[in-house]
């Protein structure tokens, strides 16, 4: 199992090198605010998606802490 993962990693690495060491992701937008991005609750440290998070005074909070 672990050997398969290592092998897969090696294949990905060689593909990466074959493409000039750069993957181009056409649909990726860096500045896009994704609702599925995980943010950390400032109070309890739990990770929630931005959709679920409550934004208060410049910080994110989970449902329970808000
Ligand atoms: Zn919290």
Burial 52-65 (b: 16+ CB within 10 A, else e): ebeeeeeebbbeee
66 domain-assigned? no
For residue 61, the model assigns a pLDDT of: 95
Question: Domain count of the chain?
Answer: 1
Query: What domain range is 40 assigned to?
Result: 2-61
Report residues near ion ligand 1: CB below 5 Å: 41, 43-44, 62, 65
> Tens-of-pLDDT digits for all 66 residues of the chain?
889 999 999 998 888 888 776 656 666 655 566 668 899 999 999 999 999 999 999 999 999 998
Query: What are phi and psi for residue 34, nearest 5 degrees?
Result: -90, 130
**4 C-alpha vs ligand 1 centroid, how far in Å?**
39
- Distance from the CA of 47 to the center of ligand 1, in angstroms? 8
User: How far away, in angstroms, is 40 Cα from ligand 1 center?
Assistant: 8
Residue 9 zone, left/alpha/beta (φ > 0; ψ -120 to 50; rest): alpha
């Amino acid at each position: 199992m672990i050997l398969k993962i290592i092998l897969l990693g090696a294949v990905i690495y060689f593909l990466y090198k074959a493409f000039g060491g750069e993957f181009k992701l056409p649909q990726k937008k860096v500045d896009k605010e994704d609702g599925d991005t995980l943010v950390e609750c400032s109070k309890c440290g739990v990770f929630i998606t931005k959709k679920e998070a409550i934004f208060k005074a410049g910080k994110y909070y989970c449902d329970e802490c808000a």
